[in-house]
Amino acid sequence: MRRGEREAAVRAVMERAVAPVPPELYAAAVLRGNRLLRRRRVARRALWLLACAAVLAFTVWAAEARPWAESPSRTSPPVTGR
């Protein structure tokens, strides 16, 4: 198809009458949209709750395990004064 033919085809499509939309389709679309928004909101809240629980669990573990403290060496005996 050449450019002129494509433009003519596009004009023909755009000039057609708009197909009527069934009235129940609007209500169904609104219900589906509300359902999708509710699911997204619940999923977002669940992820935030999971993230907060993970931060809390890490904080409790770090407070108990103290991974930043150096553990005593077990490969050689402790140095004593002579």
On whether the pTM is more than 0.75, the answer is no
Please, which pLDDT band fits residue 62 given cuts at 50, 70 and 90? very high
pLDDT of residue 37: 98
Helix (H) / strand (E) element for 3: namely helix 3-15
The full 3-state SS of the chain, as one line of letters, equals: CCHHHHHHHHHHHHHCCCCCCCHHHHHHHHHHHHHHHHHHHHHHHHHHHHHHHHHHHHHHHHHHHCCCCCCCCCCCCCCCCC
Residue 19 is predicted with a pLDDT of 81
Query: Range with the lowest mean pLDDT among 8-12, 29-33, 45-49?
Result: 8-12
